Amino acid sequence: MINTNNLTKKYGEQTALDHLNLDVKEGEIYCLLGANGAGKTTTINLLLGFVEPTSGSAFINQLNVSEDKRATKRFLAYIPENLMLYPSLTALENLDYFAGVAGKRLSQDNLKGFLAEAGLQTEAFNKRIATFSKGMRQKVGIAIALAKDAKVLLLDEPTSGLDPKASNEFGLLLQKLRGKGVATLMATHDIFRAKEVATHIGIMKDGQLKQQFVANDISLSKLEKAYLNTMEYNEVGS
Amino acid sequence: MLSYNFKYELKLLLRSRWIQLLSIILLLLFGFSTYNGLQKVEKRKNDILAAKTEIQENDVLMLKLLDSVERGMQVNVPSWTIPSSPMAVGNYHPRVAAMEPQPMAFLATGQADLFTHYVKPTVGGDDAALNFTEMTSPVQLLFGSFDLAFVIIYLLPLLIIAFSYNVLSAEKESGSLRLLAAQPIRIQNWVLQKLALRFFWLSLLVIFSLLTVFFLLGLSPFGNSNTFISLLGLILAYMLFWFALAFLVNLWVGSSAKNAVSLLGLWVVFVLLVPSVLNQLGNTIYPMPSRNLMINELRNMKAEVTEKQDEILDNFLRDHPEYALNDSTQTRGFYHRLMASKKLVKENMEPILQSFEKQLQNQQNWVEKFKWVSPAILAQESLNQMAGTSKADYENYRKQVIVFAEEWREHLLPFLYNNQDFSSNDYANLPSFRYTELTSGSQKGIPMLFLISFLLTAVGLISSRTRNSKEVLNQG
């Protein structure tokens, strides 16, 4: 569902992403781990079509992102680190607007159903987003993905700044989406959360995918060690 | 996407109190400026009425004096003012040649504070042409009155700039643009729809505010429905131009601060710089001959003809055998010589006046040729036209007054040269002035403004085809 083929992005002499090859299938959650500047956000920006690759290609649902950006966006939902919605609109109105803009005309009952499915409390439906915590806004973001019936979910540091409870709830939501066959690519620093929710984990450094694991095949401590080793190796090597 | 933008843009504008704020500002601006315009029109009407009343009262006295003279009574006034003399009537009992304000005159002061709107041509006065034309500054494109035209041309664009400069950049700066850009839409189309909706809502507010102000001030927009519809058309076309510009700036520039500075810079260029540069260039390319030289020339000519008045009168009478005197007891006096010499002065001055007229016309043609460069000029010209205060209106008035002054003189001269007294029976035959308004020409400015606005929008859309959403997302 999400594929990259030698995907490379350079900014002048600086290589932000170096020949990335990824394959995330339906019902998989792929977590990209890495420090700041590792190339995680660049990967997501390339998959969203926000930047053009220098070479290589990215595919969403077998459609080339560079060639047909709008078509690929019909299949995907995106939740950035800080999901900013319209603060003066309510959760229900924000959901109605973004789903509508994406071409989904939904009844109020359906919209409420998606908000509830995303774990938002009923009394918050008609409250303005300005009063929402980050965790509540992320839930609205998930509701947008549900309303769009997205096949692909791109998440950029979605749990950063969330308290453990909210982070845990978010993890559960991702599992729910996984159950619906959604392919998820999540960029994160959070090794613990990655191990908990991911089906696959990749460690990135300097724009390169250094190591990949099947989440079930590696323990948290080994993952942590691999992550630190990758960082150290590169630091020594650099 | 449009229906959702339509639905939520109004909610966002209401909740951010933009609609309420704009309604109050527009009502205040339109109310105050319309009231100001009406006050000016009222003053103009009162001035004309006072002049006419004065003439009517003078006429009553004149008729009483004539009656006394005709009954052979002694009158206690200086001999040269006794109205049995046609020159006394021609000089001391002139008619008022007034340019009555048109129904929508309150819209734009236009040239009204530069030119007179009533004169009293006399038989002994200089040619009326000398008293009408603003010789040194014929193209008054900078306007200082706080009238409706000022609000529309100067202030409305500033409101539009405040209302539209950050449609895209605010989304970018708040972070919501990334979420929007992740939807299957073209950001350029989304910006265009947002601006089009803001144009729609602002247009409604403008129409509502204008109608409210007109009704509150007792004006009936439907009494002059054609002009009112033209006024609305002009305002909408002018607003559309600024929204089109905002569209381009939103797409091409980037951050809110840069957008605001760019749009304000464009406001300065289109509203202030271009009109004054065109004016200056007109003056430089077609300089007016010195007015002082012209006045000196006139004085010299007057002095010259004064010395030769007898000769001039002889020549005049030779050209006008109809005034030959058969009665040897009658003679030719001061007024005969003066009027003959004035005619000569007028004929000799004609080429000098013509050179002024020509340069003036050249300057006006120059502005006419390039007026489309600034929508402010187009809008001002159209508003002046609707108000009847354009340079064409005053030129039309000036020409009518010159014709009337000639008619007044020609009516009384036969009395003078035939040495015939003016009697009370002749009063009813005195010519009177009636101003004929220009037939309202088509408002070419409105379609031109619409055309420019659509062209700008098209440029934005075409150029955005060559720019990806990523460029819009990443500029700043």
Burial of A42 (0-12, 13-18, 19+ CB in 10 A): buried
Q: Are A31 and A60 in contact (CB under 8 A)?
A: no
Q: How far is A77 from chain B (nearest CA, A)?
A: 7
Asked if A93 reaches chain B (Cβ–Cβ under 8 Å), the answer is yes
The stretch B421-435 carries a mean pLDDT of 91
Across A68-72, B23-27, B431-435, least confident range: A68-72
Which residue from B minimizes the CA distance to A85? B176
- Three-class secondary structure assignment of B434-452: CCCCCCCCCCCHHHHHHHH
The answer to whether residue B183 neighbours chain A at the CB level (below 8 Å) is yes
For residue A137, what are its two tokens? Answer: 């806004």
CA angle, residues B406, B412, B415, in degrees to nearest 5: 150
pLDDT given at position B323: 65
User: At CA A13, angle to CA A7 and CA A19, rounded to 5?
Assistant: 15
Q: What is the pLDDT of residue B331?
A: 64
pLDDT tens by residue, B435-464: 998 876 667 788 888 898 889 888 888 877
H-helix or E-strand spanning residue B118: strand B118-119
Q: How far apart are CA B179 and CA B56, in angstroms?
A: 77
Facing A70 at nearest CB: one of B184, B470, B474: B184
> Which has more confidence, B337 or B251?
B251
Instruction: Using an 8 Å CB-CB cutoff, list chain B residues near A51.
Output: 470, 474
SS3 track for chain A? CEEEEEEEEEECCEEEEEEEEEEECCCCEEEEEECCCCCHHHHHHHHHCCCCCCEEEEEECCEECCCCHHHHHCCEEEECCCCCCCCCCEHHHHHHHHHHHCCCCCCHHHHHHHHHHCCCCHHHCCCEHHHCCHHHHHHHHHHHHHHHCCCEEEEECCCCCCCHHHHHHHHHHHHHHHHCCCEEEEEECCHHHHHHHCCEEEEEECCEEEEEEEHHHCCHHHHHHHHHHHHHHHHHHC
For B396-421, the pLDDT digits (tens) are: 898 899 899 989 988 998 888 788 88
| Mutation target vs A (from B19, B183, B467; most A CBs, 10 A cutoff) | B183
| Shortest Cα–Cα distance, A199 to chain B (Å) | 25
> What one-character-per-residue DSSP string does B31-79 give?
HHHHHHHHHHHHHHHHHHHHHHHHHHHHHHHHHHHHHHHHTT----S-G
Chain B residues in contact with A93 by the CB 8 A cut-off are 8, 11
What is the H or E stretch that residue B359 is in?
helix B334-370
pLDDT of residue B241: 93
Structure confidence at residue B79 as a pLDDT band (50, 70, 90): confident
Chain A residues 154-173 with CB within 8 Å of chain B:
154
CB contact under 8 A, A101 and B4: yes
Most confident of B123-132, B220-229, B335-344, B384-393: B384-393
Q: Which residue, chain included where needed, has tokens 């319309």? A: B34
Among chain A residues, the shortest Cα distance to B185 is held by A70
A63/B347 Cα distance (integer angstroms) = 87
Please count the helices (runs of H) and the strands (runs of E) in chain B: 19, 2
Where do we find the tokens 């659509």?
A: B454
Q: Does B20 touch chain A (CB under 8 A)?
A: no
The bridge status of strand A63-64 relative to strand A76-79 is: unpaired
Q: Is B186 on the interface with A (CB under 8 A)?
A: yes
B73–A contact, CB cutoff 8 A? no
Cα dihedral B450, B456, B460, B466 sign: positive
Which residues of chain A lie closer than 8 angstroms to B12, CB-CB? 86, 88-89
Distance CA B278, CA B273 (A): 8
> What is the rounded distance in angstroms from the CA atom of residue B324 to the CA atom of residue B314?
11
Chain B interface disruption, residue of A88, A104, A106, A151, most B CBs within 10 A: A88
Residues 6+ apart with CB under 8 A from B106: B34, B37, B38, B40, B41, B147, B148, B219, B387
User: Does A74 contact chain B (CB < 8 Å)?
Assistant: yes
**Inter-chain touch A85–B15, beta carbons under 8 Å:** no
- Contact criterion met (CB < 8 Å) for B179 and A73: no
Tell me which chain B residue has its CA closest to the CA of residue A101. Answer: B1
Looking at the predicted structure, is the pLDDT value of residue B147 above 70? yes
Domain boundaries, chain B: 1-290+348-476
pLDDT for B139 equals: 46
Distances B166 to B24, B171, B173, B240, B260 between C-alpha atoms, Å: 22, 8, 10, 17, 8
Which residues on neighbouring strands pair with residue A155, listed in sequence order?
A79, A186
Q: 3-state SS string over B304-320? A: HHHHCHHHHHHHHHHHC
Rounded to an integer, what distance in angstroms lies between the CA atom of residue A192 and that of residue B97? 94
Statement: residue B112 has pLDDT above 80: no
Q: Are residues B4 and A49, on separate chains, in Cβ contact within 8 Å?
A: no
What pLDDT does residue B474 have? 54
Give CA separation, B243 vs A60, B45, B238, B250, in Å.
37, 38, 9, 10
| Residues B180, A50: C-beta atoms closer than 8 Å | no
* Chain A CB within 8 Å of residue B207 CB: no
Cα separation, B81 vs B83, whole angstroms: 6
| pLDDT tier at B264, thresholds 50, 70, 90 | very high
List the single residue in A with minimal CA-CA distance to B15.
A88
Segment holding B119, helix H or strand E: strand B118-119
pLDDT tens, position by position, B318-369: 676 666 666 656 666 677 777 777 777 777 777 877 887 788 788 888 888 8
Task: Please state, in angstroms and rounded to a whole number, the distance separating the CA atoms of residues B218 and B66.
Answer: 45
Q: How many residues does chain A have?
A: 238
Touching check for B14 and chain A: CB below 8 Å?
no
Nearest CB among A48, A82, A96 relative to B182 is that of: A48
pLDDT(B234) > 50: yes
Question: B465 — contact with chain A (CB < 8 Å)?
Answer: no
Query: What pLDDT was estimated at residue B115?
Result: 79
Q: Does B317 touch chain A (CB under 8 A)?
A: no
Listed in sequence order, the residues at least 6 apart from A99 whose beta carbon sits closer than 8 Å to its beta carbon are A105, A106, A111, A144, A147, A148
Rounded CA gap, B20 and B22, in Å?
Answer: 6
Strands in A208-214's sheet, in edge-to-edge order, are A76-79, A152-156, A183-188, A29-34, A200-205, A208-214
